Amino acid sequence: MRLHVVTGKGGTGKTTAAAALAVALAAGGRRVLLVEVEGRQGIAQLFGIPPLPYAERPVADAPGGGRVFALAADAEAALLEYLEMFYGMRRAGQVLTKFGAVDFATTIAPGMRDVLLTGKATEAVRRREGAARRGGREPADRPYAYDSVVMDAPPTGRVAQFLNVNAEVAGLARVGPIRNHADKVMAVIRSPQTQVHFVTVLEEMPAQETLDGIAEVRAAGLNVGSILVNMVRPPLLEAPVLAEAAAGGLDLDALVRGLKAAGLADPEATARGLAEEVRDHAVRVAVEQRIRARLDEVDLPRLELPLLPDGVRAADVGALGARLAEQGVGR
């Protein structure tokens, strides 16, 4: 597997999951490129570094000498690079910029932007070490420049359209170079070496969007990799207690006795407050179980990452990557 596309509903921690996946894949001395495509500078924020330029920069080390590089892909820069690579037109790019054609192509021309962004990621997938960058043939005997590429892709609701670049440009260009470029990009995205991973949390709406997104991505003929459940809370109470609490039958007297034994002030009122918390928690756990059961219905491998109560910092990414490695990522 060489191209990992990571999507998820807003707020599910898609960028964190993509970065953790990149670290896990880089373990054992491999090189992995983490690409973001939405201009949000999410990777820079996560790693606590200045905004990334349109250049591949090392951002993290992985166990065993592995390295993760990051790139903030930008449609305008990708277009200029594309013109230069395939047409040797550096000056043309400047003229086009002057005429607003680059703005036109990247912001306005439907689908163009997505073709350029996915094109950048697939170019990195295909790239070989020491390849002549300027449109030259890549020497097939050389090793790949990156062992894997991880793309922090647009949110679930938009990902199928984003990846299905062929369909996007089909209405616009039936023939011609852009169409050829799109075909080439699509060949990589559709190939067995590409997988789309869905990040979700155990809440109803993100889970529903995940299931809808999986169906959409499959309908577009793409491969789904895994469901990555993020921000999983550790079980804080044992099942019998939860069942009792959910049924509204928590033993309040036992709770009061316990609080008294611990010497806490105002045990009755405290017990009522705690019972309320336990009930909320029990309802929450029941909802999570229902959601897990629904996610079970699609037969996909599942990865899990824990909730970090204090938020994710740069130093946590390595640990999250290790959690994914424990679950078999990178093996």
Per-residue x/- marks for other proteins, 160-179, CB under 8 A? -x------x--xxxxxxxxx
Contact call for residue 108 and other proteins (CB under 8 A): yes
Choosing from 49, 89, 298, 319, the residue that interacts with other proteins (CB under 8 A) is: 89
- What is the smallest separation between the CB atom of 200 and other proteins, expressed in angstroms? 11
Position 206 contacts other proteins (CB under 8 A):
yes
Interface residue with other proteins among 56, 76, 216, 251 (CB under 8 A) is: 251
The backbone torsions φ and ψ at residue 56, rounded to the nearest 5 degrees and listed phi first, read: -85, 120
CB nearer to other proteins: give 110 or 143.
110
Angstrom distance (rounded) from CA 35 to CA 118: 10
Burial label, 316 (beta-carbon count in 10 A; 0-12, 13-18, 19+)? middle
Three-class SS state of 260: helix
Burial of 55 (0-12, 13-18, 19+ CB in 10 A): exposed
Query: Residue 21 carries which DSSP code?
Result: H
Contacting other proteins within 184-203 (CB under 8 A): 203
Query: Among residue numbers 114 through 153, which ones bind other proteins (CB under 8 A)?
Result: none
Nearer to other proteins, 195 or 208 (CB): 208
Distance CA 195, CA 5 (A): 6
Within 275-314, the residues that bind other proteins by CB under 8 A are 275-278, 280-281, 283-284, 287, 309-311
Residue of 228, 197, 230 whose CA lies nearest to 307: 230
Least distance to other proteins from the beta carbon of 27, Å?
A: 27
Q: Rounded to whole angstroms, how far apart are CA atoms 140 and 121?
A: 19
Burial 24-33 (b: 16+ CB within 10 A, else e): bbbbeebbbb
29, 61, 90, 103: which one contacts other proteins (CB under 8 A)?
A: 103
Nearer to other proteins, 26 or 250 (CB): 250
Compare residues 30 and 284 and give the one whose CB is closer to other proteins. Answer: 284
Q: Would you count residue 4 as binding other proteins (CB under 8 A)?
A: no
Stretch binding other proteins (CB under 8 A), from 26-34, 54-62, 134-142, 234-242: 234-242
Q: Which of 1, 28, 30, 38 binds other proteins (CB under 8 A)?
A: 38
Span near other proteins by CB under 8 A; candidates 61-69, 122-130, 154-162, 222-230: 154-162
Question: Does 319 help bind other proteins (rule: CB under 8 A)?
Answer: no
Furthest CA-CA distance within the chain: 82
Q: Which of 93, 80, 184, 88 minimizes the C-alpha distance to 136?
A: 88
